[in-house]
A and B are shown apart, each in its own frame.
Chain A
Amino acid sequence: MSASATNSAAVPPGLAIARQLPDLMQPVKVRRGVLGFLRNNPTVAIGAALLLCLMLIGIFAPYLGTVDPTAIAPAKRMRPPSELYWFGTDALGRDVYSRVMFGARVSLTVGLSVALLATLAGLAIGLVSGFVRWADAIIMRIMDGLMSIPPILLAVALMALTRGSVRNVIMSITIAEIPRVSRLVRGVVLSLREQPYVDAAIASGTRMPMIILRHILPNTLAPLLVQATYVCASAMIVEAILSFIGAGTPPTIPSWGNIMAEGRALWQVKPFLVFFPAAFLSITVLAVNLVGDGLRDALDPRMAKDL
């Protein structure tokens, strides 16, 4: 009953109308669409905005006041940051600002490709493992073995056997990440199989591929999406580590790990050689982690409370 309706009624003499109490529950504003989702989940919004900026930097690197990132100028070696050289120049006289801007391409390409490939492969392996009983034991022993090799070392060993290239870096990190994704998918599949609606679908004669497509797959998407962001963040760090220790992208390609590796010998006298790529790498990984944490909170409220 609204306040105006009560007020309009005749008040008997000697009585007063009680003051209206404030609403105990504020009305919930339902926000819809992508923008609504972002307003409800500011962490995702901040992370996504940062990530978008970095992607734009990667795409438009040639137009951001950069010069050729591989152009060597021995006369202008190791200049400190100035108006002309925003992030200074390295030991070969290359413009660090240009190298860092172009480096965004490598990091983002590796992160996104590994996230996509490892998720797809892990999804396929996890589905097979969760549904085909006899294959499960074999696949899971293999995954146990793969997971027993620390991921960075596995990638190092693979890279030592191939020539350094962005493609090989992506493949190596993907192989190291697959076991974790397939374990996750298998776990979800095994718990979903026990759900009554899956039993109902089986009872009503739905074929297995249809059950997987319609009942299992949609339910794996939320945890898979969250996992994919963590895979992406981890892949970026592993790529930088591989390049930093000389087992990653070839020195001709400016990647953040490479720039830091080249600055390593000189960092005590010229800290800016290491600082700028390190800062960009950290911000990028932070952006991806923010998106991941936000998505996890939004998609899995039970976990959100705990972690």
Chain B
Amino acid sequence: MASYILRRVLVTIPVMGIVALFVFSLLYIAPGDPAAVIAGDQASPADVERIRQSLGLDQPFLVQFGGWLWRILHFDLGTSIFTNLPVTSLIAQRIEPTLSLMMLTLALTLVIAVPLGVIAAWKAGSLIDRVIMAFAVSAFSLPVFVVGYILAYVFALELEWFPVQGYTPLADGFWPWLQSLVLPTIALGSVYIALIARITRASMLEVLQQDYIRTGRAKGLGQPSILFIHALKNAAVPIVTVIGIGVALLIGGAVVTESVFAIPGVGRLTVDAILRRDYPVIQGIVLMFSFLYTLVNLMVDVTYTLIDPRIRY
């Protein structure tokens, strides 16, 4: 197992290198002079030149990329054009709300989606199954911000159960923190829940047809024991895979959710950076989230060996 994990980690390193190369070369893929685009329409030639130099765009590509990669390895994501602060400290200031939101959403999703999928598979074809699957299709079709606005309108504006907007840091107390995150979590989680519920149902349906499930029934195991111990464990690999892939949805959705609920997180930082054309900040955020996403999927791969001892590459 140790050698599998080691090999898996080693495979991740070149992938991260390719991600870094991509994020870096985006500047060159885009048509036109990047310095002029970042400077905006009202910029003077001197401004454009200043940006060109501060981004090092006047140097050869490989020199730029090498230097950039070297700085990344030292946790230096560059300097914001607008605020002149290091991108890493900008992200560090904003990371708490975003991580809180994403972790809570992940927890909520696992608690809701997996049982929903199991029940739908158990009662496949019944009314409950149809209702759950209809919910899944509609959740897929409702964009994050639409769900966010509906929730905010009903539960914050009309019923006044939760704050409409804003974020209370965890340091100010657990309950206010949780209260400020309930609606954003549900909004962000809706698509994710639909995704996981669907894959759980599909994977469970396959497992429930296996012989050992019939054996379990024959020897008199109770329904919960069959479903949640024997079946779910064998259905877990595809579910865990999709949980990992779905983290991309969480990351993209967090940017939007934070805008809807005015949460001062990395998503808001992204939106502000777009409006100010602060490219180093955008680049830093994209790179950080991509690495995070790669690491999550690395963890998912390692989890396989814990769930299913048969997996040995």
Contacts and interface: CB of A to CB of B under 8 A. Distances in A.
A144 B31 contact: no
B143 A285 contact: yes
Nearest to A157: B286
B277 interface: yes
Given A244-B256, A289-B140, A145 B18 contact: yes
Interface stretch (A64-72, A127-135, A211-219, A266-274): A266-274
B145 A149 contact: no
Interface stretch (B56-64, B68-76, B198-206): B198-206
Contacts of B26: 157-158, 161
A247 interface: yes
Interface string B56-93: 00000000000000000000000000000000000000
Interface string A289-307: 1100100000000000111
A162 interface: yes
Interface in B242-288: 248-249, 251-253, 255-256, 259-260, 270-271, 273-275, 277, 279, 282-283, 285-286
B164 A268 contact: yes
B289 A150 contact: yes
Nearest to B256: A241
B274 A144 contact: no
B141 interface: yes
Given A149-B290, A150-B290, A241 B137 contact: no
Nearest to B28: A161
Contacts of B23: 149, 157
Contact of A246 (B198, B274, B279): B274
B11 to A, nearest CB: 9
B27 A161 contact: yes
Contact of A282 (B18, B38, B143): B143
Contact of A148 (B273, B274, B290): B290
Nearest to A43: B137
A161 B37 contact: yes
Given A151-B248, A156-B274, A281-B146, A141 B14 contact: yes
Interface residues of B, number: 60
B19 interface: yes
Contacts of B289: 149-150, 153
Nearest to A155: B252
A101 interface: no
A245 interface: yes
B196 to A, nearest CB: 13
A161 B34 contact: yes
A163 B274 CA distance: 11
A278 B145 contact: yes
B18 A141 contact: yes
Contact of A281 (B30, B143, B206): B143
A240 interface: yes
A148 B294 contact: yes
Interface in B144-174: 144-146, 149, 153, 157, 164
A241 B274 contact: no
8 contacts: A150-B289, A156-B282, A162-B32, A245-B274, A271-B157, A281-B143, A289-B137, A307-B201
Interface of A: 141-142, 144-146, 148-154, 156-163, 233, 237, 240-241, 244-247, 260, 264, 267-268, 271, 274-275, 278, 281-282, 285-286, 289-290, 293, 305-307
